[in-house]
A and B are shown apart, each in its own frame.
Chain A
Amino acid sequence: MSDSKTGVKALDSDKTKPKRKLYVGTQALDYRRDHMEVISPLKDGVVVDWDIVDNIWNYAFRQRLLIDPKEHPILLAEPSTNSPLQREKAAELLFENYKVPALFLAKNAVLTSFASGRATSLVVDSGGGSTVVAAVHDGYVLQKAVATSPIGGEFLTDCMMKSLESKGIVLKPRYSFKKKEISPGEYQIVDLDFPNTTESYKLYSTRAIAGDIKESVCRVPDTPFEEAAYANVPMTPYELPDGQTIEIGADRFKVPDVLFNPSLSQTIPGMESIADSTSLRGLPQMVIESINKCDVDIRRELFSSILLAGGTSSMQQLKERLEKDLMEEAPQAARVKVLASGNSTERRFSVWIGGSILASLGSFQQMWFSKAEYEEHGVSYIQRKCP
Chain B
Amino acid sequence: MSWQAYVDDHLMCEIDGQHLSSAAILGHDSTVWAQSPNFPQFKPEEISAILNDFENPGSLAPTGLYLGGTKYMVIQGEPGVVIRGKKGTGGITVKKTNLALIIGVYDEPMTPGQCNMVVERLGDYLLEQGF
Residues of A with Cβ closer than 8 Å to B? 84, 137-138, 140-145, 293-298, 363, 366-367, 369, 381, 383-387
| Contact in complex: A384, B75 (CB < 8 Å) | no
Bound complex: CA of A140 vs CA of B109, how far in Å?
A: 16
Contacts of A363 in B (CB 8 A): 109
| Cβ of B88 under 8 Å from chain A | yes
Bound complex: CA of A131 vs CA of B33, how far in Å?
A: 47
Contacts of A383 in B (CB 8 A): 78
Contacts of B77 in A (CB 8 A): 143, 387
| Contact in complex: B71, A386 (CB < 8 Å) | no
Which one, B64, B75, B78, contacts A141 given CB within 8 A? B75
0/1 interface trace, chain B 108-130, chain A, CB 8 Å (1 if under): 01011110110010000000000
Q: Can you spell out 20 A-B residue pairs with CB atoms less than 8 angstroms apart?
A: A137-B86, A140-B75, A141-B76, A142-B73, A143-B61, A143-B74, A294-B62, A295-B62, A296-B62, A298-B73, A366-B16, A366-B111, A367-B113, A369-B113, A381-B117, A385-B116, A387-B75, A387-B76, A387-B77, A387-B116
| Contact in complex: A145, B61 (CB < 8 Å) | yes
| Contact in complex: B75, A142 (CB < 8 Å) | yes
- Residue among A141, A145, A295 having the largest count of chain B Cβ atoms under 10 Å: A295
Contacts of B112 in A (CB 8 A): 140, 387
| Contact in complex: B61, A142 (CB < 8 Å) | yes
Q: A297-B71, A383-B78, A385-B116 are in contact. Are A140 and B86 (CB under 8 A)?
A: yes
| Contact in complex: B16, A295 (CB < 8 Å) | no
Contacts of B31 in A (CB 8 A): none
| Contact in complex: B16, A385 (CB < 8 Å) | no
| Contact in complex: A84, B73 (CB < 8 Å) | no
| Contact in complex: B116, A138 (CB < 8 Å) | no
Interface majority SS on B: helix, strand, loop or mixed? mixed
| Contact in complex: A295, B109 (CB < 8 Å) | no
| Contact in complex: A387, B62 (CB < 8 Å) | no
Q: How far is the CB of B39 from chain A (nearest CB, A)?
A: 22
Q: A138-B88, A383-B78 are in contact. Are A144 and B113 (CB under 8 A)?
A: no
| Contact in complex: A293, B61 (CB < 8 Å) | yes
Contacts of B86 in A (CB 8 A): 137-138, 140
B 78-131 contacts with A by CB, 8 A? 78, 84, 86, 88-89, 109, 111-114, 116-117, 120
Contacts of A293 in B (CB 8 A): 61-62
Bound complex: CA of A15 vs CA of B84, how far in Å?
A: 52
Q: How far is the CB of A108 from chain B (nearest CB, A)?
A: 13
Contacts of A381 in B (CB 8 A): 117
| Cβ of B63 under 8 Å from chain A | yes
Bound complex: CA of A369 vs CA of B117, how far in Å?
A: 11
| Contact in complex: A387, B73 (CB < 8 Å) | no
Q: How far is the CB of B125 from chain A (nearest CB, A)?
A: 13
Q: How far is the CB of B115 from chain A (nearest CB, A)?
A: 9
Contacts of A141 in B (CB 8 A): 75-76
Q: How far is the CB of A73 from chain B (nearest CB, A)?
A: 14
Smallest CB-CB separation from A384: which chain B residue?
Answer: B116
Smallest CB-CB separation from B87: which chain A residue?
Answer: A138
B 43-86 contacts with A by CB, 8 A? 58, 61-64, 71, 73-78, 84, 86
Contacts of A386 in B (CB 8 A): 113
Bound complex: CA of A293 vs CA of B63, how far in Å?
A: 9
Bound complex: CA of A367 vs CA of B112, how far in Å?
A: 9
